[in-house]
Amino acid sequence: MAVYRYPCPLSSEITPRHLFFSRRALLGAAAGGVLAAGLNPAGALADGEAAAAARGWPAAETPTPKNDVTHYNNFYEFGMEKSDPAELSGSFHSRPWQVQVDGLVEHPQTWDLDALTARFGHEDRLYRMRCVEAWSMVIPWQGFELGALLRAAGVKADARYVAFTSVVRPSEMPGQRSGLFSLHWPYVEGLRLDEALHPLTLLATGVYGDPLPAQNGAPIRLVVPWKYGFKGIKSITRITVTDKQPPTSWNQMAPEEYGFYANVNPDVDHPRWSQSSEQIIGEGSLFRAARRPTRMFNGYAEQVASLYKGMDLRKEF
Ligand SMILES: Nc1nc2c(c(=O)[nH]1)N[C@H]1C(S)=C(S)[C@@H](COP(=O)(O)O)O[C@H]1N2
Ligand SMILES: [Mo]
């Protein structure tokens, strides 16, 4: 069932590929022995960034090469391989584009993408990005704070959450036509209102100084840098403010593996693999992957830990 595009996978792909198939294995498609291979010597890596530096491990803030950012993607609407989103998105049209903002807001409105950027502008944000599959990048985004849009919409007093919806366009998105694997479409995500209003939470419209390419979620996607990458829903068509915790795609598929919060946490392992360290995409060699310890809240604890005070992060993972 598994289609290996490369007879010998690039080393930068080995770990994610194992994890990738193990993620798919939920559906009974593949898996088996790959997990037994073991992902990392976890115990040796739990000693933080300082120890990493002492070992000569790479810094946490070096931008990932653009080619990796735009050719190593998760965007299942285009397919399951990391290379599919770049290769199979040629017929996707991200212009014109509209985003509906509705729900518990004073001013529901359907925005043209150009009106959004005219109103809210875009600034540069260099963010670490950590996929739940235990690989990481550092990505130079352009965008604006989701909070700015929500404030313009006028959030009502009874609002508690924000729900997001991705585009459904099977004629342009081969992964939405394939019956092999499936998340249910549309891809949906959600944040608690205070998370959505946090100044780190970005609606990205560009990467590396260019408008987002299709594979990165054109023309507008969410970036929540202290959470696992799957919270960063791509190609958003609708943002709904609500009083109920919204359903989220990966949580619906496997609730015991992917929580609603999905905060990056080295101490809460995925049921089938360790989260204590991460592979750095774009570094290392063919023979030796580059790894570093996972950081609590992906290194943004100082900014966001207070949002979760009093919560049991093992239960609300
Ligand atoms: N609509 C949609 N959004 C999505 C996904 C997806 O499959 N569909 N994959 C998520 C996952 S698992 C990750 S890690 C990030 C990857 O973003 P990038 O390819 O721009 O690095 O997008 C997230 N957003
Ligand atoms: Mo991910």
> What are the pLDDT digits (tens) for 36-79?
333 333 333 334 566 666 666 667 789 999 999 999 999 999 99
pTM of the model: 0.86
216's enclosing H/E stretch is none
CA dihedral for 114, 228, 56, 15, sign (positive or negative): negative
d(CA 197, CA 142): 18
Task: Determine what percent of the chain is predicted with pLDDT higher than 90.
Answer: 77
d(CA 215, CA 69): 9
The domains located in the chain, with CATH, are 10-308 (3.90.420.10)
Q: Are strands 135-145 and 277-284 parallel, antiparallel or unpaired?
A: parallel
pLDDT band at 303 (very low <50, low <70, confident <90, very high): very high
Q: Choose one of 24, 66, 74, 207 to mutate for the ligand 1 pocket test, by most ligand atoms within 8 angstroms of C-beta.
A: 74
pLDDT at 52: 64
8 is in an annotated binding site: no
Contact 249, 188 (CB under 8 A): yes
Distances (CA, A) of 158 to 37, 227, 230: 49, 25, 27
Ligand 1 neighbours, Cβ below 6 Å, are: 73-77, 129, 131, 166, 187, 216-217, 229-230, 232-235
Residue 250 CA: nearest ligand 1 atom is 12
User: Ligand 1, atom 19: nearest CA belongs to which residue?
Assistant: 73
Residue with the bigger pLDDT between 71 and 9: it is: 71
pLDDT at 285: 86
pLDDT at 211: 98
Pick the closest to residue 22 from 215, 216, 257, 183 (CA basis).
257
d(CA 279, CA 90): 29
Residue 237 pLDDT > 50, yes or no?
A: yes
pLDDT at 21: 43
User: Ligand 1, atom 5: nearest CA belongs to which residue?
Assistant: 75
pLDDT band at 34 (very low <50, low <70, confident <90, very high): very low
Pick the closest to residue 262 from 195, 164, 167 (CA basis).
195
Note if the bond before 247 is cis, omega within 30 degrees: no
User: Ligand 1, atom 21: nearest CA belongs to which residue?
Assistant: 73
Q: 13-27, 92-106, 232-246, 273-287: lowest mean pLDDT where? A: 13-27
Decide: helix, strand or coil at residue 19. Answer: helix
pLDDT at 55: 64
If you measure from the C-alpha of residue 70 to the centroid of ligand 2, how many angstroms do you get, rounded to a whole number?
14
Contact 215, 71 (CB under 8 A): yes
Query: Mean pLDDT score of the chain, rounded to an integer?
Result: 86
Looking at the chain, how many residues does it have?
317
Residue 207 CA: nearest ligand 1 atom is 20
pLDDT band at 280 (very low <50, low <70, confident <90, very high): very high
If you measure from the C-alpha of residue 106 to the centroid of ligand 1, how many angstroms do you get, rounded to a whole number?
30
- The structure tokens 């360790």 sit at 274
d(CA 98, CA 314): 38
d(CA 57, CA 242): 43
pLDDT at 50: 65
Q: What is the DSSP string of 28-39?
A: TSS-GGGGGG-S
pLDDT at 145: 98
Q: In sequence order, which residues have a C-beta less than 8 Å from that of residue 8 and are 6 or more positions away? A: none
If you measure from the C-alpha of residue 241 to the centroid of ligand 2, how many angstroms do you get, rounded to a whole number?
24
Q: 31-40, 84-93, 291-300: lowest mean pLDDT where? A: 31-40
pLDDT single digits (tens) 111-170:
999 999 999 999 999 999 999 999 999 999 999 999 999 999 999 999 999 999 999 999
If you measure from the C-alpha of residue 254 to the centroid of ligand 2, how many angstroms do you get, rounded to a whole number?
14
Distances (CA, A) of 196 to 159, 160, 187, 193: 12, 10, 18, 5
